[in-house]
């Protein structure tokens, strides 16, 4: 997501799912392509280096799970917290999966 209007709509009408490392705002958008946005504020995360690191970590975890997200129907915004910088990768990945599952935006993993 890039539009300020999209972010505002998700903040205004979306449902919040709070984790220890980040917050997920999810808005059902039937008929729209699923889009994801990232917020890492200076107050919530820190300086530019920390904000970029937090966004990169969250983005990579969601990128690896992208095939399990529905192609249509959701606008998702992840808001990073300072804890997302120091959390081990597996803890952060588990938390994001849990938040997405609670929002109904993650299909179960296929066992191989």
How many C-beta atoms lie closer than 10 Å to residue 58's C-beta? 24
Planar angle of CA 54, 6, 97, nearest 5 degrees: 45
Helix (H) or strand (E) segment spanning residue 56: helix 48-65
Question: Where along the chain do its domains lie?
Answer: 4-102
In the sheet that holds 35-39, the strands lie side by side as: 15-18, 22-33, 72-80, 35-39
Query: What's the pLDDT tens digit per position in 19-42?
Result: 999 999 999 999 999 999 999 999
Q: Can you name the CATH fold of 4-102? A: Ribosomal Protein S5; domain 2 (3.30.230)
Q: Give the pLDDT band (50/70/90) at residue 111.
A: low
Looking at residue 67, what DSSP letter applies?
G
Alpha-carbon distance of 37 to 35, in angstroms, equals 7
What local confidence, expressed as pLDDT, does residue 50 receive? 97
Does pLDDT of 103 surpass 80? yes
């Amino acid at each position: 997501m890039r539009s300020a209007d999209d972010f505002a709509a998700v903040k205004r009408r979306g449902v919040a799912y709070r984790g220890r490392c980040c917050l997920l705002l999810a808005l059902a958008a039937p008929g729209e392509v699923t889009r994801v946005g990232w917020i890492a504020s200076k107050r919530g995360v820190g300086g530019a280096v920390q904000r970029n690191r937090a966004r990169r970590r969250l983005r990579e975890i969601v990128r690896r799970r992208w095939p399990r997200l529905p192609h249509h129907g959701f606008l998702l915004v992840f808001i990073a917290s300072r804890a997302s910088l120091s959390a081990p990768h597996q803890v952060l990945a588990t938390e994001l999966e849990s938040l997405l599952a609670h929002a109904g935006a993650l299909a179960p993993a296929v066992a191989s």
